[in-house]
């Protein structure tokens, strides 16, 4: 009898303590949930606001000097402006920019840096006037020697209203390798977009003076036309990319706004 009673009491005590335990767990869980809500609630809204601001911003390209909004990205340009001197950088402003003039160096296997350094050395050599606004190297590197709005000595009668681009090449055919060609397409696309030039404002040195420059594009007229097509196609592609980004951003903005409203 005693034993039975004892068991009963023990059972009751156990039951009571398990009830207490459940209560404690419950209350603690409520505290944790409330705590999480307090910590996370405003944060979640902040995150949403940040997301709205961040993702809706269209990825236009801001141009450093012109503060223009451009579709075509600025390629990597290594600015190594020449010292102002009478033989390679007279410091004379152009009369605006009407043409991009493409050249070849006619000196196989030389690098962009070597040609840049040669232009720079002319201030001391003083035996010839020669330069270009840009030189593109065998690895596609682009060195700027003369600012866009200053005259370079490359394109004779068109120096006063053009930007000149010299290109390195491996042999006497004057054919540009893939890296050089690729950078040339991107640089010309960028410059024609920046200065609002059309396809027929991309010209060869040959078109100015009849000089066999750039040789490969004089010998292969079809490749020259193809090159200009590629420049224009790249520009269009860049425009489409930005426009589809706009559409995506609109969709996201609308979605996030409707999410915020329903909260």
Does residue number 175 form part of the binding site for Zn ion (CB under 5 A)?
Answer: no
**Alpha-carbon distances of 79 from 93, 120, 145, 147, 216, rounded to whole Å:** 18, 13, 7, 9, 27
Closest by Cα among 172, 165, 244, 163 to 215: 172
User: Taking the complex as a whole, how short is the minimal distance between the CB of residue 205 and Zn ion, in angstroms?
Assistant: 3
Out of 97, 151, 163, 213, point to the residue binding Zn ion (CB under 5 A).
213
Q: Which stretch binds Zn ion (CB under 5 A): 81-89, 98-106, 174-182, 195-203?
A: 98-106
Closest contact distance (angstroms) between CB of 158 and Zn ion is: 11
Quick one: tokens of 180?
């050089």
Stretch of 3-11, 127-135, 204-212, 216-224 lying at the interface with Zn ion (CB under 5 A)? 204-212
- CA dihedral sign of residues 8, 14, 20, 22: negative
Stretch that binds Zn ion, among 52-60, 70-78, 130-138, 198-206 (CB under 5 A): 198-206
| Residue nearer to Zn ion on the CB measure, 103 or 194 | 103
**Residue 103 interacts with Zn ion (CB under 5 A): yes or no:** yes
Q: How far is the CB of 213 from Zn ion (least distance, A)?
A: 3
Query: What are the residues whose beta carbons fall under 8 Å from the beta carbon of 126, sequence distance 6 or more?
Result: 86, 87
Q: Near Zn ion by CB under 5 A, which window of 74-82, 212-220, 235-243, 252-260?
A: 212-220
Q: Cβ of residue 48: shortest distance to Zn ion, in angstroms?
A: 57
Of 89 and 103, the one with the shorter C-beta distance to Zn ion is: 103
Do 123 and 60 meet the contact criterion of CB atoms below 8 Å apart?
no
Which residue in 116, 175, 186, 205 binds Zn ion (CB under 5 A)? Answer: 205
Applying CB under 5 A, the span of 6-14, 28-36, 112-120, 201-209 interacting with Zn ion comes to 201-209
Q: Least distance (Å) from Zn ion to the CB of residue 99?
A: 13
Q: Which is nearer to Zn ion, 97 or 213 (CB)?
A: 213
Residue count, binding to Zn ion (CB under 5 A):
3
Query: Per CB under 5 A, does 215 bind Zn ion?
Result: no
Residues that bind Zn ion (CB under 5 A): 103, 205, 213
């Amino acid at each position: 009898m005693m034993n039975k009673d004892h068991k009963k009491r023990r059972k009751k005590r156990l039951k009571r303590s398990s009830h207490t335990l459940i209560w404690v767990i419950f209350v603690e869980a409520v505290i944790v949930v409330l705590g999480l809500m307090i910590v996370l609630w405003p944060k979640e809204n902040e995150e949403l606001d940040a997301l709205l601001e961040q993702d809706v911003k269209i990825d236009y390209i801001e141009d450093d000097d012109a503060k223009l909004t451009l579709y075509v990205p600025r390629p990597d340009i290594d600015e190594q402006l020449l010292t102002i001197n009478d033989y390679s950088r007279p410091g004379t402003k152009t009369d605006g920019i009407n043409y991009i003039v493409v050249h070849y160096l006619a000196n196989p296997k030389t690098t962009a840096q070597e040609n840049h350094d040669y232009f720079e050395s002319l201030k001391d050599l003083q035996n010839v006037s020669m330069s270009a606004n840009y030189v593109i190297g065998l690895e596609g590197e682009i060195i700027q020697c003369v600012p866009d709005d200053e005259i370079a000595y490359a394109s004779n009668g068109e120096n006063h209203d053009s930007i000149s681009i010299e290109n390195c090449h491996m042999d006497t055919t004057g054919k540009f390798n893939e890296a050089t060609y690729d950078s040339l397409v991107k640089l010309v696309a960028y410059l024609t977009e920046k200065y609002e030039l059309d396809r027929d404002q991309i010209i060869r040195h040959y078109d100015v003076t009849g000089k066999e420059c750039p040789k490969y594009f004089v010998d292969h007229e079809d490749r020259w036309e193809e090159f200009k097509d590629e420049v224009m196609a790249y520009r269009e592609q860049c425009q489409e990319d930005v426009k589809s980004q706009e559409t995506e951003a609109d969709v996201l903005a609308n979605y996030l706004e409707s999410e915020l409203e329903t909260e």
